[in-house]
Amino acid sequence: MGEQKSHVVGEPPNRRVPLYVRVLAGVVLGIVLGLVFGERKYLFGRIGNAELGRLGLLVVKLLKALAVPLVFFAILDAFVKTDISLKKGARLLVICAVNATVALGIGLSIMNGFTPGRHLSGTVSELYRLGAAPSDAAAQELLAASKKGSLGFLDNLSSYVPRSLVDPFSENSVITVVLLGLLAGLALRRARARRTEGTEQGLTVIEQGIGGVYAILVEALDIVVSIVPIGVLGVVADVVGKAGLRVFESIWIFLVTVLAAMALHSLVYYPLVAWLVGKKPPRVYLGIGADPILTGLSTNSSLATVPVTLKALDRMGVSPASARLAACIGTNLNNDGILLYEAMTAVFLTQAVGMPLGLGGQVTIGLASVMAAAGIAGIPEAGLVVLPLVLGAAGLPDALIATAIPLVMTVDWIIARVRSGVNVMSDMLVAVLLDVGDGEKKSSGAAPDGGGEDVADLLGNAGGSLGGGRDESP
């Protein structure tokens, strides 16, 4: 599932300059343009940093526009290509739901306890007022956004039920789009199970069409992602030209806060649960699992890490069925790294603009983070692609999102590698927990390096399953 041109096992590495290098180059060049020219026009006296900033906003809008249909067709494609038994699927969902709940609990507790966004309080709002709209309009938009998520439970629930099938796509409502995707996917699977001779050909055409549309959307997204550094350059130039470098002074607090939450979740919660529930002590879970963890950190790709993950699980004594279900088929659901990042970033930015969020608003952010991460897993730079959707669910207007994303992206290349490591560790933990109480015969007699027929079979099946690169550039 997803764009795999540079990630598929055995394929030559992508020779393009990595995206994070290009983003950093865009940030540096944008800072230079902002410092040198400020708010003056400099290209034939017609174009300045303000115009470049508007171009950056267009890139963010295009990402957001592509992400919503991509989530929908990714879910449909998953239903077409994946077949999981009801019992195994239910266990997988429960385990992933618990892990996601704990991850969100850790992330939101840290954000609410320390409120790190207050260190940027006023700065992002000032930039938004300077570059996006008159101050009165900005104040009204932020005020309207701050009221989202404060309604009752039934009101919030009814807001996810669309008046028409077009509304969720036009409004970029990721939660509703995911629910529609699940409904359509279940209906498609039931129709396939009941297919008759007269409907078989039509269903086959529909399934092939879903795969084709999904592949086209992935390619389109790949093109847009490739121009993200240009958008970052423009917005950074606009930001620095209007406010100077002070806007970047406190972004390190965001980096430290997010990394601390990821470390607590992956280095404390994961090993503890693997030990107490999965009967895999830390020397096994972290010791044998060190290879895939370090591979995920270094390659910034959990899909490229799948062969190493499967070998490590084999050495841990996890059954091939559980390993394949967690690391290949169910990998879309094991995105604790992405959902932690999305939820914490959204809360951080709402704190930075002085937009208080109650429990309802934070629950909405959590749901949007979980659904967006699960729906778009397997897409290169998934964390970047779904971030505008989650920020939109938090109530932030597009212009403010376009201003904030380049600030976050100055440290995102560090966080992205940690996200990949956390996702790999999530795959391993889910496999270990799926194996608990499983009556299937575990693999035995595996060589120390994990080489064996089971692993070879798993590697052969990995490419056709739901595996995801989740978030990751080459």
* Predicted local confidence at residue 440, as pLDDT: 45
The more confident residue out of 348 and 135 is 348
* Predicted local confidence at residue 126, as pLDDT: 58
Alpha-carbon distance of 259 to 50, in angstroms, equals 33
* Predicted local confidence at residue 91, as pLDDT: 87
User: Do residues 188 and 80 touch, judged by C-beta distance below 8 A?
Assistant: yes
Would the pLDDT of 148 be above 60?
A: no
**CATH code of residue 342:** 1.10.3860
The more confident residue out of 425 and 468 is 425
- Position 11 confidence tier, pLDDT thresholds 50, 70, 90: very low
Rounded average pLDDT over 201-225: 86
Q: Which of 324, 356, 345 is nearest to 407 (CA)?
A: 345
Alpha-carbon distance of 446 to 455, in angstroms, equals 9
Would the pLDDT of 234 be above 80?
A: yes
Alpha-carbon distance of 376 to 385, in angstroms, equals 8
* Predicted local confidence at residue 288, as pLDDT: 93
The more confident residue out of 122 and 407 is 407
Any domain includes 62 = yes
Would the pLDDT of 309 be above 70?
A: yes
Rounded average pLDDT over 287-303: 80
* Predicted local confidence at residue 247, as pLDDT: 64
| Maximum alpha-carbon separation in the chain | 74
For residue range 423-452, what is the model confidence (pLDDT) as tens digits?
999 999 999 999 886 654 444 433 333 333
Place of tokens 């930015």: 349
Would the pLDDT of 265 be above 90?
A: yes
Any domain includes 458 = yes
The more confident residue out of 277 and 226 is 277
Any domain includes 249 = yes
Would the pLDDT of 50 be above 50?
A: yes
Would the pLDDT of 379 be above 60?
A: no
Any domain includes 1 = no
Q: Which of 3, 6, 29, 15 is nearest to 231 (CA)?
A: 29
Would the pLDDT of 305 be above 90?
A: no
Give this prediction's pTM. Answer: 0.69
For the chain, the domain total comes to: 1
Would the pLDDT of 466 be above 70?
A: no
Any domain includes 471 = no
Q: Which residues contact 43 (CB under 8 A, 6 or more apart)?
A: none
- Position 64 confidence tier, pLDDT thresholds 50, 70, 90: confident
Q: Which domain holds residue 361?
A: 19-462
- Beta-bridged to residue 48, according to DSSP, are 41
Q: 134-148, 251-265, 296-310, 405-419: which range is least confident on average?
A: 134-148
Any domain includes 8 = no
Any domain includes 194 = yes
- Work out the number of other CB atoms within 10 angstroms of the CB of residue 171: 13
* Predicted local confidence at residue 70, as pLDDT: 80
* Predicted local confidence at residue 85, as pLDDT: 67
Distance of CA 191 to the CA centre of its chain: 31
User: Do residues 397 and 21 touch, judged by C-beta distance below 8 A?
Assistant: no
Would the pLDDT of 57 be above 80?
A: no
Triad 146, 149, 153: Cα angle to 5° = 155
* Predicted local confidence at residue 365, as pLDDT: 87
Alpha-carbon distance of 298 to 260, in angstroms, equals 19
Average pLDDT over all residues of the chain: 75
The more confident residue out of 245 and 183 is 183
For residue range 388-427, what is the model confidence (pLDDT) as tens digits?
878 887 777 766 776 677 677 777 778 888 988 999 999 9
Phi, psi of 48 (to 5 degrees): -135, -165
SS3 letters across 375-397: HHCCCCCHHHHHHHHHHHHCCCC
In sign, the C-alpha dihedral spanning 363, 364, 369, 374 is positive
Any domain includes 474 = no
Rounded average pLDDT over 20-44: 84
Q: Which of 160, 152, 202 is nearest to 179 (CA)?
A: 160
User: Do residues 122 and 380 touch, judged by C-beta distance below 8 A?
Assistant: no
Helix, strand, coil: what percent of the chain each, to 5? 75, 0, 25
For residue range 66-98, what is the model confidence (pLDDT) as tens digits?
877 887 887 788 777 766 667 777 888 899 999
